[in-house]
Amino acid sequence: MNAPYVHPKIGPRAAAFLAREHKLLIDGKWVPARSGKTFDTFDPGTGRVIAKVAEGDAVDVDFAVQAARRAFEGRAWRMMTPNERGKLIWRLADLLEQNAEELGVLEALNNGKPFATARDRDVPGCADLFRYMAGWATKITGETLGISTPGQFHAFTVREPVGVVGQIIPWNGPLAMATWKLAPALATGCTVVLKPAEQTPLTALRMGELIQEAGIPDGVVNIVTGFGATAGAAIAAHPDIDKVGFTGSSEVGRIIVHAAAGNLKKVSLELGGKSPVIVFPDADMSVAIPGATQAIFANSGQVCTAGSRLFAHKKVFDRMIDGIAQQASQIRVGHGLTDGSQMGPVISQTQMERVMGYVDQGRAAGATVTAGGNRIGQEGYFVAPTILTDTKPEMSVVKEEIFGPVLCAMSFDDDDLERIAKQANDSIYGLAGSIWTQNISIAHKMAQRIRAGRIGINTHGNVDAALPTGGFKQSGWGREKGHEGLHLYTEVKSVIVSL
């Protein structure tokens, strides 16, 4: 094949990274896949190949698991004091910030998101989460227990690292997803085999280099790039992995649960969503309109918590739709490395076809395309911000996660909160939701009634390190980030001492 394409805006540091060989990180060494195979990775803004990456499979996963097991049992990591672990994690956060420009370029290039977003939001957000979890490293505690058994006892609990963890992540926020997984695992003292998504391996590999530079011991973090059906499946099924953490589609989540049953490894899942944005007639339109616009179009709609179902009261429905359509028309859609781009492409040809297929299904089922509905240009995978009105609960566009810039808008003409909540809750998913009103009582009553893991009141899509995120219903198992997020990576041990 021809030499990979080099985007003119990429800069010397990112260019130097791209020019390196992209191998697997196993036991602190960069090694090719045992099979010798590689696969291409693309720039979704042009559709061109930008690098070749080692194609790890079950054999490589097994080496990585052995390395992670040795690191877990070894003194370097096990005997490290929590404050030393915290310092290393903090150092990694510093390194991410110091390399924000390069990481931002690579993220924009491989994922498609605007460079400014990647550099100024994603990278600092990752640094923040690593620091947040670095702080917890010294604060992982158990309890002392009141014992009723006759006799004299002292009893307490400790939280110990769950062990070797496999982590399988998606492509929508490659650095952020790697961080959501790695930060709590490192803080608790686990060791890791991480598999980035096959579409977006690059920034995780760069992070791997920074993990080494930070001084995190060899074998603590191993990175195996490769495909889901091979490397991913091998992680989910591996008998010596104690826990698997997965973020991705509900379909693959189900496969992982089955695969994990072999050794009954612990499983946490962050899966799909179809999150409601509920706008009451008294909402401040100057907040609700940009809020709802961002909720669906941020990251080209490729966000598991995207506000993809709008429910607006009849009195404000037209104003909401006009306002969102107006804002959508002003979003500058373009290549992630083009100055001023505000929305990038979707991740791949397949994803673009999926999204356009949903728009067609919506049209065929009677929905009206009020904005967008089309691909933009012929190069790269750009989809116009799209609003579908006249959507009904039974339509596939309303029921299924599209994972693209497509909003399904519905109205309600009702003051009964139970009925409004019932509509909003009419989904197999329960990841997030937002409520837009100035009435504090309605806001809290609705927050109680929405069955979802994260509720915004006059806000949507917050990603603060302290806010647990995860799903009710088929949106997943467990909560990531926040103090809760640590619990996914610890086992509770109770100790009872007869005095």
Task: Give the active site residues.
Answer: 270, 304
Chain positions 231 to 290 lying near ligand ADP, rule: CB under 6 A, are 232-233, 236, 248-249, 252, 255-256
User: Distance between CA 176 and CA 173 in Å, rounded?
Assistant: 5
Site stretch for ligand ADP (CB under 6 A), options 192-200, 216-224, 292-300, 336-344: 192-200
Helix (H) or strand (E) holding 473: strand 472-473
Q: How far is the CB of 450 from ligand ADP (least distance, A)?
A: 25
Q: How far is the CB of 254 from ligand ADP (least distance, A)?
A: 10
Does 173 sit near ligand ADP (CB under 6 A)?
Answer: no
Among 159, 195, 274, 454, binds ligand ADP (CB under 6 A): 195
Q: How far is the CB of 154 from ligand ADP (least distance, A)?
A: 44
What's at 27, amino acid-wise?
Answer: D
Does 218 sit near ligand ADP (CB under 6 A)?
Answer: no
What's at 426, amino acid-wise?
Answer: D
Q: How far is the CB of 250 from ligand ADP (least distance, A)?
A: 8
CB atoms within 10 A of CB 444: 13
| Inter-CA distances, 70 with 24, 76, 339, Å | 17, 10, 46
Site stretch for ligand ADP (CB under 6 A), options 41-49, 107-115, 165-173, 477-485: 165-173
Nearer to ligand ADP, 195 or 375 (CB): 195
Helices (H), 340-434: 349-364, 396-399, 417-424
Burial class (CB in 10 A: 0-12, 13-18, 19+), 424: buried
Task: Give the interface size with ligand ADP as a residue count (CB under 6 A).
Answer: 17
Helix (H) or strand (E) holding 126: helix 123-136
Site stretch for ligand ADP (CB under 6 A), options 61-69, 167-175, 326-334, 366-374: 167-175
Q: At which residue do the structure tokens 């990752």 appear? A: 126
Does 198 sit near ligand ADP (CB under 6 A)?
Answer: yes
Q: How far is the CB of 475 from ligand ADP (least distance, A)?
A: 13
Nearer to ligand ADP, 197 or 325 (CB): 197
Q: At which residue do the structure tokens 């609990």 appear? A: 157
Nearer to ligand ADP, 153 or 227 (CB): 227
Strands (E), 67-190: 144-145, 153-161, 164-168
Site stretch for ligand ADP (CB under 6 A), options 37-45, 224-232, 359-367, 385-393: 224-232
Among 125, 170, 430, 433, binds ligand ADP (CB under 6 A): 170
Nearer to ligand ADP, 262 or 290 (CB): 262
Nearer to ligand ADP, 15 or 229 (CB): 229
Nearer to ligand ADP, 216 or 236 (CB): 236
Q: How far is CA 223 from the centre of its chain?
A: 17
Q: Are 461 and 303 in contact (CB under 8 A)?
A: yes
Both structure tokens of 276: 């409601």
Among 10, 96, 175, 197, binds ligand ADP (CB under 6 A): 197
Which residues, in sequence order, are CB contacts of 20 under 8 Å at separation 6+?
none
Residue number with the smallest Cβ distance to ligand ADP: 228
Site stretch for ligand ADP (CB under 6 A), options 74-82, 193-201, 385-393, 462-470: 193-201
Q: How far is the CB of 257 from ligand ADP (least distance, A)?
A: 11
Tell me which DSSP letter residue 38 carries. E
| End-to-end Cα, the chain, rounded Å | 73
Q: How far is the CB of 177 from ligand ADP (least distance, A)?
A: 9
Nearer to ligand ADP, 244 or 295 (CB): 244
Q: How far is the CB of 302 from ligand ADP (least distance, A)?
A: 9
What's at 230, amino acid-wise?
Answer: T
Among 229, 261, 466, 497, binds ligand ADP (CB under 6 A): 229
CB atoms within 10 A of CB 67: 23
Among 134, 168, 224, 421, binds ligand ADP (CB under 6 A): 168
Does 228 sit near ligand ADP (CB under 6 A)?
Answer: yes
Q: How far is the CB of 324 from ligand ADP (least distance, A)?
A: 25
Which of helix, strand or coil describes residue 314? helix
- 308 torsion bin: left (phi>0), alpha (psi -120 to 50), beta (else): alpha
Both structure tokens of 371: 């904005």
Burial class (CB in 10 A: 0-12, 13-18, 19+), 248: buried
Find the Cα–Cα–Cα–Cα dihedral 99, 209, 166, 131, rounded to 10°.
-40
Binding site for ligand ADP (CB under 6 A): 168-170, 195, 197-198, 227-229, 232-233, 236, 248-249, 252, 255-256
